[in-house]
Amino acid sequence: MEAIVERIAAKHNISKAAAKELVKTFLDEVVTEVKTVGRVAFIGFGTFEKVEKAARNSYNPREQKVVVVPATTLPKFKAGTKFKEAVKLA
């Protein structure tokens, strides 16, 4: 993250501390939005969303028995078209 903070500070002629605070605030807001609304989309970049995983049965080979994996909520990111293309061309 430090490299990103340094580039933002240089590009916008602000201190590294201010750039770091901006990045931290942005990330905190994305997390809050995904937690409360369930989805944040940045056109061309990608979409962050909350995904519900149902409880399921799994097998523990060490104990040789079936165990129940509880339901959970996880974050998911799906890259946008422009982001995919930029990475592909790199």
Model confidence at 90, pLDDT cuts 50, 70, 90, reads: low
For each of the domains in the chain, give its residue range(s) and CATH number, in order of start: 1-37 (no CATH), 41-90 (4.10.520.10)
Is 48 in contact with 66 (CB distance < 8 Å)? no
Residue-wise pLDDT tens digits, 12-66: 999 999 999 999 999 999 999 999 999 999 999 999 999 999 999 999 999 999 9
What is the model's pTM?
A: 0.78
